[in-house]
């Protein structure tokens, strides 16, 4: 259930609405927009009388939410969620401009990471991705460099100002990873790892939540609900392709999921064309399609030597190919009335 207030509501009237909701044993989630304020009621709604709520000063109307997910739903927020990095003029995820996250699948060493970061930054990337802990299908494959890689990512951030995105795989890792990273990535295999979702919801770091290999859109939004229910509303939804009967690509990029998610949710939508196509030559076309469909950002794998990469080399772009693609992306963005986000910002990192 959501309570939509009148535009002219006073602070005292809003406080009385919140007090009424909380006195019934529910939690009040307040979303202030430019033209209206929404109070979401989280808990056993049977304890609240819709008629009594409409009698409160400042209430315009009360609406039930019939969907299984509440907090990520578009009805639950007055405006789109935006996540800001850096100073007031810094990188904004979920705004008009398209953000680009780029870097290697795995951090393999200091020189390769710094080399990649400098190239993608020069080409226009806003944020740096890099895996410190890697979930691999084979237990004998490269599993990442752990905390050593996290320290390298932090060092690169200090030089370039690029916020760092890295994956966390286990609830026991969350505190460690959050002490180094700016965005906690939840991989496709962990989309329904509910203890992990709950734990990342308790830390004040934005979360990049990837859609599971065979997950429905509703299941993705329910996973976001787990994170947001703990008080962390800075969630980015990531479409990275789903598993179908098609074998020509690694996964099938669900382009339709982009406008559907934007219709159903106020959260930013990021697209991963690297994992969707599984081949370097497919990354640029899929990235352009994602922008045309309304994606708020892209996450792309880039490696200085893909042939010798320790993971996902076949879908990683060389720096020159990435720079060329960025030129194409900018043209597509302009064609749909948007632009790539600027990169001239230094990171002002908040405490965990």
Task: Please tell me the CATH code under which domain 83-335 is placed.
Answer: 3.20.20.70
Task: Please tell me the CATH code under which domain 2-64 is placed.
Answer: 3.30.70.1140
Q: CA–CA separation, 276 vs 274, rounded Å?
A: 5
3-state DSSP of 302-336: ECCCHHHCCCCHHHCECHHHHHHHHHHHHHHHHHC
Average pLDDT over every residue of 203-220: 96
For the segment 34-60, what is each residue's pLDDT rounded down to a tens digit? 778 889 888 877 788 766 888 888 888
For the segment 268-296, what is each residue's pLDDT rounded down to a tens digit? 999 999 999 999 999 999 999 999 999 99
The string over 283-292, giving b where at least 16 C-beta atoms fall within 10 Å of a residue's C-beta and e elsewhere, is bbebbbbbbe
Pick from 286, 278, 282: nearest CA to 312: 278
The full DSSP string for 62-130 is EE---SS--TTBGGG-SS---EEESSTTSEEETSSSBEEEEE-SB---HHHHHHHHHHHHHHT--EEE-
Residue 346 has pLDDT above 80, yes or no: no
For the segment 105-144, what is each residue's pLDDT rounded down to a tens digit? 999 999 999 999 999 999 999 999 999 997 766 776 666 7
pLDDT at 136: 65
The verdict on pTM exceeding 0.85 is: yes
For the segment 257-267, what is each residue's pLDDT rounded down to a tens digit? 999 999 999 99
pLDDT at 296: 97
Confirm whether 2-64 and 83-335 share one CATH topology: no
DSSP 175: H
Q: Is residue 308 very low, low, confident or very high in pLDDT (cuts 50, 70, 90)?
A: very high
Parse the chain into domains and list their residue ranges.
2-64, 83-335
For the segment 151-197, what is each residue's pLDDT rounded down to a tens digit? 999 999 999 999 999 999 999 999 999 999 999 999 999 999 999 99
Average pLDDT, the chain: 91
pLDDT at 71: 93
Which residues is 29 bridged to in the sheet? Answer: 40
pLDDT at 348: 45
Residue 101 has pLDDT above 70, yes or no: yes
Residue 352 has pLDDT above 50, yes or no: no
Q: How many residues does the chain have?
A: 352
4 and 18 Cβ atoms separated by less than 8 Å: no
């Amino acid at each position: 259930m959501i309570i939509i207030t009148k535009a002219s509501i006073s602070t005292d009237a809003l406080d009385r609405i919140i007090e009424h909701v909380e006195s019934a044993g529910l939690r009040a989630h307040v979303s202030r927009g430019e033209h209206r304020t929404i109070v979401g009621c989280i808990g056993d709604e049977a304890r609240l009388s819709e008629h009594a709520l409409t009698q409160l000063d400042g209430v315009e109307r009360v609406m039930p939410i019939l969907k299984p997910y509440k907090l990520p739903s578009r009805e639950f927020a007055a405006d789109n969620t935006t996540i800001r990095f850096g100073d007031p003029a810094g990188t904004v995820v979920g705004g008009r401009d398209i953000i680009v996250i780029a870097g290697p699948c795995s951090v393999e060493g200091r020189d390769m990471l710094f080399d990649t970061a400098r190239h993608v930054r020069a080409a226009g990337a806003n944020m740096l991705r890099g895996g410190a802990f890697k979930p691999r299908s084979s237990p004998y494959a490269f599993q990442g460099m752990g905390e050593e890689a996290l320290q390298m990512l932090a060092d690169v951030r200090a030089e370039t100002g690029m916020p760092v995105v890295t994956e966390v795989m286990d609830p026991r890792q969350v505190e460690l990873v959050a002490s180094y990273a700016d965005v906690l990535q939840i991989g496709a295999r962990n989309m329904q790892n509910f203890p992990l979702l709950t734990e990342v919801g308790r830390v004040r770091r934005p979360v990049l939540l990837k859609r599971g290999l065979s997950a429905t859109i509703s299941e993705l939004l329910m996973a976001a609900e787990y994170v947001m229910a703990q008080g962390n509303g800075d969630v980015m939804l990531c479409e990275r392709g789903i598993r179908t009967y098609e074998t020509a690509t690694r996964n099938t990029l669900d382009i339709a999921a982009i406008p559907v998610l934007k219709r159903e949710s106020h959260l930013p939508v990021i697209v991963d064309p690297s994992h969707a196509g599984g081949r370097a030559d497919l990354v640029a076309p899929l990235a352009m399609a994602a922008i045309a469909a309304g994606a708020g950002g892209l996450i792309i794998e880039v490696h200085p030597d893909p042939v010798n990469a320790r993971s996902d080399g076949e879908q990683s772009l060389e720096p020159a190919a990435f720079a060329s693609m960025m030129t194409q992306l900018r043209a597509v963005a302009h064609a749909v009335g948007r632009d790539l986000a600027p990169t001239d910002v230094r990171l002002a990192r908040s405490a965990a």
